[in-house]
Amino acid sequence: MTRTPFGTAPGGQGVELITLTNAHGVELRAMTYGAIIISLKVPDRTGKLGDVVLGYDSLAGYVKSSPYFGAVVGRYANRIAKGEFTLDGTAYSLAINNGPNALHGGLKGFDKVVWQAESLPSPDGTGVRFHYVSTDGEEGYPGTLDATVTYTLTDSNEVRISYEATTDKPTPVNLTQHSYFNLAGRGDVLEHILQINADRIVPVDSTLIPTGQLMPVKGTPFDFTTPHAVGERIDAADQQITFGKGYDHTFVLTRADTGLVLAAVLKDPTSGRVLEVRTTEPGVQFYTGNFLDGTLTGKGGVVYQRRTGLCLEAHHFPDSPNQPQFPNTILRPGETYRSRTVWKFGVE
């Protein structure tokens, strides 16, 4: 692992750039601002390395405007209806930053804070651990939340992401990694082939808040139980597609236990690159970059048009603090929040 200065955050804190490399030349660069993965270079079928995530060349781009490119999202990834929830009889209010709702941890969520980094070598590879202590009441959330996120790059071309958190008051926690993948390293992702291990999704209303039901995918554009091109049904006449402006939904992973399960397999037929996502989380948000609109210019001067990247955000269901029937997202004092996700890169 190497670390170099990478500029100064708006609060005046120095930001560092961390670089991890493995035996095959795979390289992951992340910075302490937002624990953001800035670039991830993996081989294509000819062995040529290419960057498979969207982002910016410098810190300034991320500070100015970023739709969570590569960031760790917290304390609560995805939406909480009207920014309100009640926990143990106390009502809490969060900033409204997405239509009528709260999104991705607030105005200054975990994607915009400076984390402390330490090298974390392991038998499996080279790693970095990011640490951040969120104060009681930060962004409206109760409790001091002590959070760590570890990225380990293994010699089997895996990026292992693990999260831990503890609190001194009950509080909702739902952390995720918000990288936008484009396995071709250019163009849009409509020809990527995707399979998702989910026979239900969490359907939403027009503001992308769950209705509370789970919807079977059979016979809908959401059926990725067998491989389909991302673009094949993305503009189908379907109410959920209309609400999401494409795919922007949590898929309910089919699992037998709470261990790591294969969530999704993404393939780019042109480069041959394959990404397998495994996670301990109950869901994965499949988001097709529907809100990218050509106004952001990213790495190397590339203009990010609609659907130039897609996210596979492993997390709990949206709005769980208001939906008692969903898997629990409340962390209590004395408990440790633990979550793991693995991205395995290969070729075909």
Q: What are the residue numbers of the active site?
A: 178, 313
285 lies in the binding site for ligand BGC (CB under 6 A) = yes
Which of residues 68 and 141 has its CB atom nearest to ligand BGC in the complex? Answer: 68
For the four alpha carbons of 246, 249, 253 and 258, in that order, the dihedral sign comes to: positive
- Sketch the per residue contact string, 240 through 279, with ligand BGC: x for CB under 6 A, - otherwise: --------x-------------------------------
For the four alpha carbons of 247, 250, 254 and 255, in that order, the dihedral sign comes to: positive
Which of residues 114 and 311 has its CB atom nearest to ligand BGC in the complex? Answer: 311
| Interacting residue with ligand BGC among 6, 33, 56, 68 (CB under 6 A) | 68
CB 231 → ligand BGC: shortest distance, Å? 18
- Span interacting with ligand BGC, options 130-138, 193-201, 233-241, 283-291, rule CB under 6 A: 283-291
Residues 6+ apart with CB under 8 A from 138: 145
Give yes or no for a contact between 286 and 252, defined as CB atoms under 8 angstroms apart: no
141 lies in the binding site for ligand BGC (CB under 6 A) = no
CB 197 → ligand BGC: shortest distance, Å? 19
Which DSSP symbol is given to 328? P
Nearest to 103 by CA among 318, 321, 337: 318
| Interacting residue with ligand BGC among 116, 135, 291, 328 (CB under 6 A) | 291
The CA dihedral of 206, 72, 93, 336, to the nearest 10 degrees, is 120
Which DSSP symbol is given to 304? E
CB 28 → ligand BGC: shortest distance, Å? 21
For the four alpha carbons of 92, 97, 99 and 104, in that order, the dihedral sign comes to: negative
Residue nearest to ligand BGC (CB): 67
| Interacting residue with ligand BGC among 43, 55, 67, 74 (CB under 6 A) | 67
**Number of alpha carbons in the 13 Å side-chain half-sphere of residue 342:** 16
Q: How many residues bind ligand BGC (CB under 6 A)?
A: 10
65 lies in the binding site for ligand BGC (CB under 6 A) = no
16 lies in the binding site for ligand BGC (CB under 6 A) = no
**Number of alpha carbons in the 13 Å side-chain half-sphere of residue 46:** 5
313 lies in the binding site for ligand BGC (CB under 6 A) = yes
Amino acid at 315: H
Residues 6+ apart with CB under 8 A from 6: 15, 16, 17, 31, 32, 33, 58, 59
Instruction: Tell me if residue 300 falls in helix, strand or coil.
Output: helix
Which of residues 251 and 287 has its CB atom nearest to ligand BGC in the complex? Answer: 287
Which of residues 250 and 280 has its CB atom nearest to ligand BGC in the complex? Answer: 250
Which of residues 34 and 43 has its CB atom nearest to ligand BGC in the complex? Answer: 34
Where along the sequence are the contacts to ligand BGC (CB under 6 A)? Answer: 67-68, 78, 208, 248, 285, 287, 291, 311, 313
